């Protein structure tokens, strides 16, 4: 990533993390950058209307311009628009977190999340990447989409680190788990990445790109509704996949 682009994004993210106005000296300290570099980015963001200065010594804070631009972008996101109603219905039917991610090689980024009514829920931020591929259902869905040479290359170069007592750490066992997931059309993580959490994931393809839909929740709730959730998940992925083929 370009250094200046990365630094600009760091500026925006530090305001979200701190949730308060920040002086230039604070920003430089928090980001561990020279004061001169901090000043240059502040001036550029202020001139473009993304930041304003509260007073001479009151610090800086983002304007709503960032929100307005983000909302305009989201409102016209073709994937989000196409899947939102369907995934909201899936969330309503299961009352668990529903997540959508797009695959980029061996990485997948969450594009949208739909939260359930329960206060105890699985939380994922839009823009986050899927975690350990061998221990999450979304990661398994990604690995299951790879051809055999790409999968074997992953297994040769990536240690299968245990995250819980249930994490699959055997390459043979993971191959078998992925094959079973591909055969039935969905993948499961029963407390393999985090104790007390169960997730299931499926895939669909749109315009040659692979997307992953995940239902996630506490194991105590997920186990009692697993059969229903699997049925709904596979229906949704099949419908989205079929619709994309019709469109193309």
Q: Are residues 121 and 185 in the same domain?
A: yes
Phi, psi at 189, each rounded to 5°: -125, 100
Which residue among 44, 68, 92 closes a domain? Answer: 68
Expressed as residue numbers, the domain containing 122 is: 77-247
Same domain, 63 and 81: no
Distance of CA 236 to the CA centre of its chain: 19
Share of the chain above pLDDT 90, in %: 75
The band of 1, judged by pLDDT with boundaries at 50, 70 and 90, is: low
Domain C-terminal end among 47, 68, 89: 68
Nearest to 116 by CA among 216, 198, 201, 226: 216
Question: Do the Cβ atoms of 173 and 179 come closer than 8 Å?
Answer: no
pLDDT the model gives residue 37: 87
Q: Which of 68, 96, 116 corresponds to the end of one domain?
A: 68
58-84 pLDDT tens trace: 899 999 898 888 878 766 767 777 899
Q: Give the tens place of pLDDT for each residue, 88-120.
A: 999 999 999 999 999 999 999 999 999 999 999
Q: What are the two backbone dihedrals, phi and then psi, of residue 41, each rounded to the nearest 5 degrees?
A: -70, -40
Parallel, antiparallel or unpaired: strands 107-114 and 97-104: antiparallel
Report phi then psi at 100, rounded to 5.
-120, 130
Indicate if 181 and 81 belong to the same structural domain: yes
Q: What pLDDT, on a 0 to 100 scale, did the predictor assign at position 70?
A: 80
CB atoms within 10 A of CB 177: 20
Residues 129 and 233 in one domain: yes
Judge if pTM exceeds 0.85. Answer: no
Number of helices and strands (H, E) in the chain?
A: 9, 7
Which strand (E) or helix (H) includes residue 232? helix 219-247
Domain tally, the chain: 2
């Amino acid at each position: 990533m370009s250094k200046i682009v990365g630094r600009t994004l760091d500026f925006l993210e530090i305001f979200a993390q701190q949730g308060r106005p920040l002086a230039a000296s604070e920003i430089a300290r928090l980001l561990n950058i020279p004061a001169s570099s901090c000043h240059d980015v502040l001036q550029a963001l202020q001139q473009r209307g993304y930041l304003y200065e509260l007073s001479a010594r009151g610090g800086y804070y983002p304007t709503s311009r960032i929100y307005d631009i983000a909302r305009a972008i989201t409102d016209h996101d073709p994937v989000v628009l196409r899947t939102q109603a369907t995934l909201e219905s899936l969330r309503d039917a299961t009352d668990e977190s529903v997540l959508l991610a797009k695959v980029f090689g061996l990485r997948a980024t969450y594009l949208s999340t739909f939260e359930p009514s329960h206060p105890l829920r699985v939380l994922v931020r839009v823009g986050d990447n899927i975690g350990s591929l061998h221990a999450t259902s979304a990661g398994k869905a990604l690995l299951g989409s790879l051809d055999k040479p790409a999968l074997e290359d992953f297994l040769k170069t990536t240690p299968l680190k245990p995250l819980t007592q249930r994490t699959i750490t055997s390459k043979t066992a993971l191959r078998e788990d992925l094959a079973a997931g591909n055969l039935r059309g969905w993948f499961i993580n029963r407390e393999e990445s985090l104790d007390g959490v169960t997730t299931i994931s499926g895939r669909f393809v749109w315009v040659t790109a692979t997307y992953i839909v995940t239902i996630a929740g506490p194991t105590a709730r997920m186990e009692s509704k697993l059969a229903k959730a699997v049925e709904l998940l596979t229906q949704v992925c099949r419908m989205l996949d079929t619709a994309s083929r019709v469109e193309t």
